[in-house]
Structure 1
Amino acid sequence: MADATANAPKDERIKDISSLRKALIRPELGGICGTILVFVLFASIAGDSGMFGTQGIMNWTVVSAQFMVIAVGACLLMIAGEFDLSIGSMIGFSGMLMAVMSVHMGFPMWSAILLTFAICIAIGALNGWLVMRTGLPSFIVTLASLYILRGLTIWGSIFFTRQTIISGVGEKAEGDWLAPIFGGTIFKGLFYWMADQGWVETFTRGNRAGQPVVEGVPMIVVWAIGLVIFGHWLLTRTKHGNWIFASGGDKQAANYVGVPVTRTKIYMFMFAAFCACVFATCQVMEFGSASADRGLLKEFEAIICVVIGGALLTGGYGSVVGAALGAIIFGVVQQGLFFANAESSLFRVFLGVILLVAVVMNTYIRRIITGER
């Protein structure tokens, strides 16, 4: 029976794919290669500058985590076949809204945070509803939201406070039960124990002599890891993940087989808004203030992270893990340029070059998948 099966004629509908091509169509491949490359590069040119010391590692980890938080939401939305260009403006809007409610309206910090999340998620739902209801490209709808939210942020801050930077959030957050979830640190005891063992760097002079240079893991890192795990699980282990892929791959075919395309895409817009609000809340808690210009260009940086991670601009293909690797590449490069004493504007050059390379590679991968020439 086994011999008969082995000698059976090959189904001509099944296309052979070489092992190399199977590896190439993994969405995480570009992110893995890019991550290895930037680590090797900066280990050679900035390895002696403290970049891979305790403080240096924490610096680029935090920056990577910031990119990662918004990249997860952008990734799931792009796989569903849509874009959200209002992510950056949502960051500035939610941070300012939180500060106005807590500092100038007297709301308890926890209620200001929860209300801000509710409003931002509602705006995300509105964006999704408008896209699905009108049939307009999400690029246009969210571009309009970008300008509307940024304008409301600047106008609102001036109207309520006569300034575009609101301080005093840190004082309002003291003793609050919810604020530490976004602005605190964890594993402090572990870092002090490692300092006693001589495993991490410590201060050598002053009142803090003997204490660890890094006293814990910031909550933005915890949120980033948690969102990546959740996004990967949702995408690869649930029926909703299949719906996301189907909605971005072929909307009409997905509708025919019963996939709730409209609901799925609206949920992804809401999740992208949620991620932007997480980013903003962590930033406000870290700095103790809100600024109307925060979040500028973050929407494009999130999209670039996702593209580097292997997602196709046409939807239906991508990986949350790949987007997370793209965020790590960004964090390492941004901090690596600083440690290497290079001009900071080169980071923008890097973004443009790597975006172009990623799009070319992803286009080639799409041709492999679809069999185009």
Structure 2
Amino acid sequence: MTRTASPPEPSGPQGAAPATEPAAAAPARITQRSLGRRFLSRPEVGSLMGAVAVFVLFFVISDTFRSADAITTVLYASSTIGIMAVGVSLLMIGGEFDLSAGVGVITSALAAGMFAFQFSTNVWVGVAFALAVSLTIGYINGLLVIKTKLPSFLITLSMFMMLQGLNLAVTRAVTGSVSTQSISNMDGFSSAQSVFATSFTLGPVSVRITVLWWIVFVALATWVLLRSRVGNWIYAAGGNADAARAVGVPVNYTKIGLFMTVGFMAWFVGMHQLFRFNTVQSGEGVGMELLYIAACVIGGCALMGGWGTAVGAAIGAFIFGMAKMGIVYAGWNADLFMFFIGATLLLATLLNLWVRLRTARR
């Protein structure tokens, strides 16, 4: 908001201006942007427009896409990407990347499954062990970025390669194959499955619990960004780290915490995969990190940091879910999925750039 200043009003008897003086100036006015302009300045506006366009496209061309069951399937496909996109979006707003996030999900699932099976423990012990592993990976990524001053792209690319090799090598050494043993008959499996991989009935349809967790995580991240001091630190660290340090923002701790947040989300998605399928293939997860980052970029997160929202990342993930299942429901060649995602990413990036330029001019 800008305040338009006016010259002081001349005074006369009873506050009226003398007859010989010019008319009193109008009182100060506060100018305010219209609701439409404020809406267009939001980081997620481009992804919202894209989501509406994709939804209308598949709604029109596919009868199956219009069913309630299809919508819940789309939401499930979106949630498994969207949960990770929450952590990745916070990290990107903080000015960093994590290319190890995709294989980190599988590392977490492998750690929980193999630990519980090999030591014959309650599966919750394996879950706790996997959480420690995931948080440690995030901590190491953040610490190396801070200490070495190297770009997070290089640090996490190195971690990606190391985890990919460890996933295969350790799994082969422990199990004799490339997958973990089934843990479905072990103590604690049912209770863990109810937390990470169950379904619940909502009216006539069955909804995966990951959809509910996705909403919870997006809401929590949005509250942190908009209503907490930590949110201010995240935006400040991503916008200008040196300036943020100068005003007392703990930039190093903030960035390490963001990498550990990505680790936490990787743990959660890894637990979902483990308790839904009972076993985990050690070679999976490669390439998923690009989808997480793309969802955030489509959702309005700036590649250079300091700009974006968790809601925008959620919308980007929803576009992925609609594209993934909509192509199948429409009977198109499934190989077109990545082309569709690439085209959507390009268009969303251009639209987000246009929105940011328009906002900067105002």
TM-score by length of 1: 0.86
1:223 aligns with 2:209: no
Aligned to 1:168: 182
1:139 aligns with 2:139: no
Aligned to 2:256: 266
8 Å CA contact 1:92–1:150 kept in 2: the answer is: no
1:293 aligns with 2:283: yes
Larger Rg: 2
**Unaligned regions of 5+ residues in structure 1, if any?**
195-199, 201-213
1:314 aligns with 2:304: yes
Aligned to 2:330: 340
Aligned to 1:355: 345
Q: How does 1:76-115 map to 2 (within 5 A)?
A: 76-115=90-129
SS in 2 for 1:290: coil
Determine which of 50, 69, 74 is the counterpart of 2:83: 69
Q: How does 1:170-189 map to 2 (within 5 A)?
A: 170-172=184-186, 176-186=190-200, 188=201
1:153 aligns with 2:167: yes
Distance in 1 (CA, whole Å) between partners of 2:26 and 2:131 is: 61
Change (3 A) 1:8 1:57: same
Cα distance, 1:170 vs. partner? 2.2
**Unaligned regions of 5+ residues in structure 2, if any?**
9-24
Aligned to 2:20: none
Aligned to 1:53: 67
How many percent of aligned residue pairs carry the same amino acid?
34
Distance in 2 (CA, whole Å) between partners of 1:314 and 1:19 is: 28
SS in 2 for 1:163: coil
Distance in 2 (CA, whole Å) between partners of 1:42 and 1:4 is: 59
Aligned to 1:125: 139
Distance in 2 (CA, whole Å) between partners of 1:173 and 1:363 is: 52
TM-score by length of 2: 0.88
Cα distance, 1:288 vs. partner? 1.3
129-138 or 97-106, larger mean C-alpha shift: 97-106
Aligned to 1:210: none
Cα distance, 1:25 vs. partner? 2.3
Aligned to 2:43: 27
Q: Matched residue pairs, number?
A: 343
- Cα RMSD (Å): 2.5
Aligned to 1:251: 241
8 Å CA contact 1:109–1:179 kept in 2: the answer is: no
Matched letter for residue 58 of structure 1: T
8 Å CA contact 2:98–2:289 kept in 1: the answer is: yes
Q: Deviations over 1:207-262 (max 9, x none)?
A: xxxxxxx4x43221122111111111111110100000000000000000000000
8 Å CA contact 1:284–1:290 kept in 2: the answer is: yes
